[in-house]
Structure 1
Amino acid sequence: MKADDNAKADEQPTPDPADTAASLLEALNEHLLKQAAEGAGPEALNQRIVESVNLLNTQLAAHVPVLSALGPELLIAQARGLVAQSAASYFDGATKLALASQGVLLRQMTESIVNNNLDAATESALGALNTHLLVGGAAAVAAASGVLDAEGVSQALERINTSIAQFSAIASERTPSA
């Protein structure tokens, strides 16, 4: 048993890595502070490197206004593109929905005409005309974001409104079948 006790006494405790790193960092800090106090400066460095760094700092300082404005300009340009893309997607979705609705309404109108139910056919036709307003509204959103020509959309909406008004007037003048 005495051999084991002697072996344990000969073993030295292993140092903690965190303590070792902390003491190394402290020694390095003391060395750097000592160098700074002694005045070790640019003359201790390669003169070409010092001149290059000074030139680069001067150039960067001259371009600070341009560089600081670059970020917001990029964000604004990116936001415009995202808005246009969203408006185009909205217009595409609304157009597909309107076309599907028109298909259903035109089918109902045709069936109503075949069944000689002109009132139902008239309602289906008016509904089909109203789906143009859905597309027109989506087109107005797309025009507001710059995806479509605003003047063309405005003219199309006026024509849609005129068509609906004319059809409604004709439908109301028509006497109901008895």
Structure 2
Amino acid sequence: MKFNIPVRLTRTAAIASLCSLLLIGARDATAADPASTTELAAPVETYSISLGQALKLIETASATARAHHLALSFAVVDPGGHLVAAARMDGAPFASLDFARGKAFASVALGGQSGATLEQRFKDDPSEYSNVSSAGYYAPFLPGRGVQPIFSNGHLLGALGASGAPSDVDEQTVKGAIEALGASITR
């Protein structure tokens, strides 16, 4: 009995086998050298807020808001403006979550600016922001108080925005949460 095996299938099988042998060899080499395994397992150093840190920020800020009988919304973004975590406390005003995200996005988009600085820049020259409204990954771009950048060792990790109370209260709430995390609001 004669089998006709397509040449293409044979080549694909040969490439797959070769890849498997290379992977097995690499695995055996790292198993023989514990130092290389440690290097592979070492975390990559990043300069971005983690999900765990973002959740801790929101938890701390929410506790502060509850202690003052406030209902706020919070948004944490990474240095690229991508949403990491967000929460709207029960009873927080309508659209406050979108406002918190817009404030956080504006902060990182302009290099880690505080809400007070963003607000002053807008007052000084509103045209500076005329073409950035759609730049926020479907988030508004809101240059106003109620946000603080998150810095660690001089690196911008992201920003925490809040909305739902007077802006100075929003801003003090996020400042306290960032400092409780061990980070800073300034470089």
Q: Taking structure 2 as the reference length, what is the TM-score of the superposition?
A: 0.24
Structure (1/2) with the larger helix percentage: 1
Q: Taking structure 1 as the reference length, what is the TM-score of the superposition?
A: 0.24
Larger radius of gyration: 1
Structure (1/2) with the larger strand percentage: 2
Larger RCO of the pair (alpha carbons < 8 Å, separation 6+):
2
